[in-house]
Amino acid sequence: MSTATDRTPLLENGNDAQRPKAFVRRFIDSLSTEGEPTWLRSYKFFFFGSYLNILLVFVPLSFLSHFLNWDAALRFSFSFVAIMPLAALLGTATDQLSLKLGQTLSGLLNASFGNAVEIIVGIAALLQGELRIVQTSLLGSILSNLLLVLGCSFLAALVIPAAYHSSKSHSGGLEGSVNGTSIAPIISALDPKNELGFVGMDAGGVHGLKIISRGTAILLLFVYIAYLIFQLKTHSYLYMPTPGVVEEEEPEMNILAACTGLLGVTVITSFCADYLVASIEETAERYSIPKPFIGLILLPIVANAAEHVTSVWMAMKNKMELTIGICVGSSIQIAAFVVPLLVIVGWITHHDLTLFFADFETIVLFVSVLLVNFLIQDGKSNYMEGLMLITLYLVIALAFWVS
């Protein structure tokens, strides 16, 4: 006997219970924290999960010192310290989102926000015309990851003073003309302190340098995209953790709380970075602190503070592969993503940031990469190698202080 009625669907998929939910319903469900940590628990972990967050008290001090126009040293110091816990919070929010998004999306998220502080500080300096600070801070980020966290060789320390003397003894004059008219005043106006190395170039050289830098930046971004595809898609098995080695981590924040935390901290960091950069010029002049030292040593330390702590903590747990992966991976991201990105941003905003670094800086980078490669290629390490790497970093810092 048939039990069909006038309300029985003609087809099985005509049942209302089987119909897909409306978009609005699905969106509301995505905001639900059911089965996830509550909002209270999420933000409690976010703001009180680390002792480093005590330094968040410097965030309002950074704002106050800027708006009340306090002494440049106070403005610089407050903003400098405030960025440290903000960088840590960016990392926390990114990690919590990664636990819910799966390997591919979490990899893209870490690639995008892993160097968020460097990008924010770089753009702030770029928009204020501090091109030399941009260059030295990017180079300093690479060096701090390679040397300060991994370490450097004592033998290389003997190369630094010689390279410094060689670069300082090199001299050149303004030259070149257009239709018989000297372009020296034009170059001097573009680069009055020869911070970008324009002095000694003719008009064609300056123009060619811009084209080379911008073209290389575009190519590097394509290489970085290919690197992401290689790491996350085609050869992801090479980067898979060994089963049983990596402990499964339970999320401490719901996904929406992590998103709002990430967005809010990014906005606050952009303001603190802007105030920090705005105080550099006055601080450098009043207290006789070389700007290259600020860019190469101080800014990268504050931008990478949380990352450095994580690397050292992993090393203390005997997870050296993860430590090296963090340091080297971060350096790759800066060189192949952050640097070309800021060159293109400068192109769009009419700030002529180039990939031309001073001779001494280029030598320092080359020697550092070469020596770190020698130290890690055998897969072994000891505390003496680490001490040597740190020693070289201190020698470089000293060289840039006296420069």
- Amino acid identity of residue 344, one-letter, is I
CATH number of the CATH domain containing 253: 1.20.1420.30
Neighbouring residues of 372: CB distance < 8 A, sequence distance ≥ 6: 146, 147, 150, 152, 328, 389
Residue 5 lies in a domain: no
Average pLDDT (244-251) is 64
Given 3-state DSSP classes, what are the helix, strand and coil percentages for the chain, each rounded to the nearest 5?
A: 75, 0, 25
How far is it, in rounded angstroms, from Cα 328 to Cα 145?
A: 7
Residue 7 lies in a domain: no
Residue with more model confidence, 89 or 319: 89
- Determine the angle formed by the axes of helices 116-127 and 131-143, rounding to 10 degrees: 160
Residue 118 lies in a domain: yes
Residue with more model confidence, 112 or 207: 207
Q: Which pLDDT score, from 0 to 100, does residue 61 have?
A: 94
Residue 13 lies in a domain: no
Residue 194 lies in a domain: no
Q: Which pLDDT score, from 0 to 100, does residue 366 have?
A: 79
Q: What is the pLDDT of residues 269-286, one digit of tens each?
A: 999 999 998 998 889 888
Q: Is the pLDDT of residue 185 over 60?
A: no
Residue 376 Cα distances to 289, 369, 373, angstroms: 34, 11, 5
Q: Is the pLDDT of residue 389 over 90?
A: no
Residue 68 lies in a domain: yes
Average pLDDT (240-255) is 68
Q: Is the pLDDT of residue 13 over 70?
A: no
Residue 182 per-residue DSSP state:
E
Q: Which pLDDT score, from 0 to 100, does residue 153 have?
A: 38
How far is it, in rounded angstroms, from Cα 302 to Cα 80?
A: 7
Residue 21 lies in a domain: no
* Degrees to nearest 5, angle at CA 8 with 7 and 11: 135
Phi, psi of 331 (to 5 degrees): -65, -40
Predicted confidence band at 160 (pLDDT cuts at 50, 70, 90)? low
Q: Is the pLDDT of residue 361 over 90?
A: no
Q: Which pLDDT score, from 0 to 100, does residue 171 have?
A: 46
Owning domain of residue 348: 38-189+200-402
Q: Is the pLDDT of residue 2 over 70?
A: no
Q: Which pLDDT score, from 0 to 100, does residue 65 have?
A: 92
Residue 75 lies in a domain: yes
Phi, psi of 178 (to 5 degrees): -125, 115
Q: Is the pLDDT of residue 255 over 70?
A: yes
Q: Which pLDDT score, from 0 to 100, does residue 56 have?
A: 92
Q: Is the pLDDT of residue 174 over 50?
A: no
Number of domains in the chain: 1
